[in-house]
Amino acid sequence: MIKQVEWSENQVTSQQLAEFENEGRSPQLQYPENQATPAPVEETEEEVELNEPANTNRSVVESVSAIPNQLYERLGLTMPRWLLWITTIVIGIILSGLLVSTLALWTPLWSNLDRTDEDSGTAAKDDVKIPLPGELWSKLSQYQLSRPMNILIMGIEPVRGTVDGSPESFAGKSDSMVLVRLNPGEKSVRVLSIPRDTMIAIPEKGEKGLTKVSDANAKGGPVLAARVVSRTLNNAPIDRYIRISTSGLRQLVDQLGGVEVFVPQSMEYKDSSSRLSINLVSGWQTLNGEQAEQFVRFREPGLGDLPRVQRQQALIAALLQRLNSPTVLPRLPQLTRLMRKYFDTNLKMEEMMALVNFGLNLDRDNFQMTVLPGTFSRFSKDPDSYWLNMTGQQSLLNDYVGVNVPGLKPDMRRVPNLKIAIQNASNQPQLTEKVIAYLKEKGFTNIYKVPDWPDTQRQTQIIVQKGNRQVGVDLQKVLGLGQIDVSAIGDLESDLTIRIGKDWK
């Protein structure tokens, strides 16, 4: 039997998030006017007899059976007594079943699934044995997504003086933020990176003006963070959230045996106040958990948050590739326990299994990433502040968020009119001018070159910076070669980046 996972329960939609403002108000009991006062009941002889002390030798069965007998006599029923008994029993069974079903629906699915004696502190001898995560993961293929869903994922800055994994440890600012959309109909996953310096309005009492989206979690937790992201993206639905501590990222990477990424430049930084020390050399390397944290948190001065968003996307791609490794699949049950300690989420166990099953069967071309469109303001007091620019972004909002904005048009420019960056990764300097000349012959008008990529590549790469894979396909037809990569890892000013490989002749 295939179990399809619905996402209607606990959905963090924009309408439900609106209740956040009223959470702090105390409930008031209202009493109706002209409330009737119960009239005194006259005692009858029969009632006096019922109130007399019962015979202590009477059995429990006799005392319980008196209730339906009394109802039978008082209601003046004409049905046989045996039929009344059967009706009473059937109604009792139905009510009990409804009660059990209600409790099951409201009980978190993972509350006891992976609990151990060490986690709970004590071991009950007669405790009911509940299936372990390993037993559930063995039936992974049974769990499937039933409809599109959006998940807000936040990397939380460490909060000083808190214990890793405690509720207090997740109360800091969001150091990174991505909105992930999974669409089973298209069999696609799309990742929208939201720069932490994105300027937004926080609908909170006493809050005026704009602030950075990274402040939302610190001011109101995941509910407020989801609310402001939803409103910023035209009331986009947000079904679930995941908050990851820096400790969680380190533990995840270590559990996976490290991740292989390309470090484009040497990274050195030391901040005694935040106890953050970064020291990475350039080139391909397998990063452990601590190094992976350094890789995604390093920030170059004067370039805002976008280069760091690019490295975050590079790490996401590396993590997904690592998760698909045959050596990692047997570790999935252990990763569940890790998530319980270092991740804060409202995902249930069966939902996690559906997500993993969906990811394992995902085609590489259907995994796409981009960054929320915007610019840095020259007139802002903070030069790193990032201001949204959604002009011509209807296709992006529809594909990556699942919303349509009335009056917002898609980008209708043809590929020859797009802004295309040429980056040489072939270790053959003469190819740069050769590619530029070839594209100009084909009618391309907005071409420019950028510094060479330090990692030599055998295959030419077409990087779709703005998230629309179709323009990459159109450019591939013109070039006659190139591997399409839909992610924001190309030149920041480009619509498309051609990273020339050795296959260019």
pLDDT for position 135: 57
Question: At residue 15, what are phi and psi to the nearest 5 degrees?
Answer: -70, -40
pLDDT for position 154: 94
| Angle, in degrees to the nearest 10, between helices 246-255 and 289-297 | 130
Q: How far apart are CA 484 and CA 473, in angstroms?
A: 7
Question: At residue 154, what are phi and psi to the nearest 5 degrees?
Answer: -130, 130
Two structure tokens written together for 254: 């270590």
Beta bridge partners of 271: 276
Two structure tokens written together for 355: 């997500």
- 473 — alpha (psi -120 to 50), left (phi > 0) or beta? alpha
Q: Are 486 and 461 in contact (CB under 8 A)?
A: no
pLDDT for position 81: 58
Beta bridge partners of 277: 270
pLDDT for position 159: 84
pLDDT for position 97: 54
pLDDT for position 471: 95
Q: How far apart are CA 316 and CA 460, in angstroms?
A: 22
Q: How far apart are CA 326 and CA 321, in angstroms?
A: 11
The helices-and-strands tally (H runs, E runs) of the chain is 15, 21
pLDDT for position 333: 72
Two structure tokens written together for 420: 């295309």
Q: What is the DSSP letter of 198?
A: B
Q: How far apart are CA 113 and CA 475, in angstroms?
A: 50
Residue numbers of the chain with a pLDDT score lower than 50:
9-10, 13-65, 67-68, 71, 75, 98, 100-132
SS3 30: coil
Beta bridge partners of 484: 462
Residue carrying structure tokens 């046989």: 80
Two structure tokens written together for 233: 């993206």
- Any alpha helices (H) in 56-115, and if so which ranges? 60-75, 81-106
pLDDT for position 256: 87
pLDDT for position 470: 94
Q: How far apart are CA 284 and CA 279, in angstroms?
A: 15
pLDDT for position 25: 41
Two structure tokens written together for 303: 């370039």
pLDDT for position 24: 40
